[in-house]
Structure 1
């Protein structure tokens, strides 16, 4: 048995390469809730995984750049987009966020669950995400608020943000940004063994003036 990789690029590539499809292929519910009323433009999906969020946005008229650290995940994302008929509205870039970041500005920058058991400069990446939002654009951040209720032994140490704590760390000026959504959302969650419970996520949606 080989040891679990500790370098982020190796860890996430192994996560996707050594498994079949990892995610459901459906967009995150909080993206659908928060972005459904936005006027389509250009979008940046950070940590896009196998591309479900990017494909959903593209199907609604957005031109989307999906970013992930795993080449395998990006290949699956491109295949998903092609199968959904939105390949021409999507582009895919490999970045180890915190080391490199996509160029340009976007009407929507979406960061869902940028939380990792291996090294990730989460705050630095989210500050870069804010800088990538165009005037009049939207920054959407969704992060887990805690372990699932059924998780009695956390598998690794994790620092979960608070609603106000993340805003304080990002220090986005009030004369530039308007806070649209600041909420904790509870949703059902089932353990691999079938135990029923819940998980809470934090969601922040901000509009740049």
Structure 2
């Protein structure tokens, strides 16, 4: 419980003290992936400031936005209201280390769901895969390199997408990887600094 409280305080303080740091555009891989999908029910794990949530809702998705920090959910709700999509967004407070949101979804998005605190990531992502409706997609995008404005330890080893997928232990009779890749892109930090970074992408389809 102490570790969970520490994580919750850390993220709450971060969102409460910094407010909105990002410009609200969706994450690049998410936008590319969702472009050809019919809107349905989406789950945004670690919604942060709500840029992805509002973007999905504006395209017809009904989004459940989840975060450990009440301040993040407040920012998400405010952004959804400003975008005119509040009626398609539900916010839920969850510590994913302790439990997982209820529901079935056509899309589960985990964009940079990385934390300096202990998180049973494989278990969380396995639960996310099981929360998919048949034909639904789990999209995981993680940092695959360290960028200049990052607090990530310089000696961090970033696992490959194949390693991450293997750790999920999903039955190939029910799930199939659609993309395991490490694309590079130019990223802009909160202070306007730019750098070429690597993303780690895992896209998994529920087939049955």
TM-score (norm: length of structure 1)? 0.89
Note the C-alpha offset of 1:167.
1.2
The corresponding residue for 1:81 is: 80
Tell which deviates more after alignment, 177-186 or 26-35.
177-186
Shift in Å, 1:158 = 4.2
Preserved CA contact (<8 Å) 2:137 2:204? yes
Aligned partner of 2:158 in structure 1 is 160
CA distance in 2 between counterparts of 1:102 and 1:132 reads 9
Q: Which residue is 1:200 aligned to?
A: 198
Cα deviation, residue 197, structure 1: 3.5
Partner of 2:99: 100
Change (3 A) 1:88 1:182: same
Distance in 1, Cα, partners of 2:78 & 2:93:
15
2:181 is the alignment partner of 1:183: yes
Residue 7 of structure 1: SS of its match in structure 2? helix
- Contact conserved, 1:11 with 1:118, CA < 8 A, in 2? no
- The alpha-carbon distance between structure 1 residues 198 and 206, as it changes in their structure 2 partners (threshold 3 A), is same
By how many angstroms is 1:183 displaced?
Answer: 1.2
The 1:41/1:152 distance shift into structure 2, 3 A limit, reads closer
Superposed, 1:29-48 pairs within 5 Å as 29-48=28-47
Structure 2 contact 43–65 (Cα < 8 Å) conserved: yes
Q: Assess, with a 3 A threshold, how the Cα gap between structure 1 residues 193 and 206 changes in structure 2: closer, same or farther.
A: closer
CA contact (8 A) 1:7 1:119 kept: no
Map 1:94-133 onto structure 2 (within 5 A): 94-133=93-132
Query: How far is 1:6 from its partner?
Result: 8.0
Q: Confirm or deny: 8 A CA contact 2:106 2:135 kept in the other structure.
A: yes
* C-alpha separation in 1, matches of 2:192 and 2:76: 29
| Conserved? CA contact 1:67–1:93, under 8 Å | yes
In the alignment, structure 2 segments of 5+ residues that lack a partner are: none
Q: Does structure 1 conserve the Cα–Cα contact (< 8 Å) formed by 2:70 and 2:93?
A: yes
Residue 170 in 1 paired to residue 142 in 2?
no
Extract unaligned runs of 5+ from structure 1.
none
RMSD: 2.4
Aligned to 1:8: 7
Q: Please say if residues 48 and 67 of structure 2, whose CA atoms lie closer than 8 Å, have aligned partners that are also in contact.
A: yes
The TM-score normalised by the length of structure 2 is 0.89
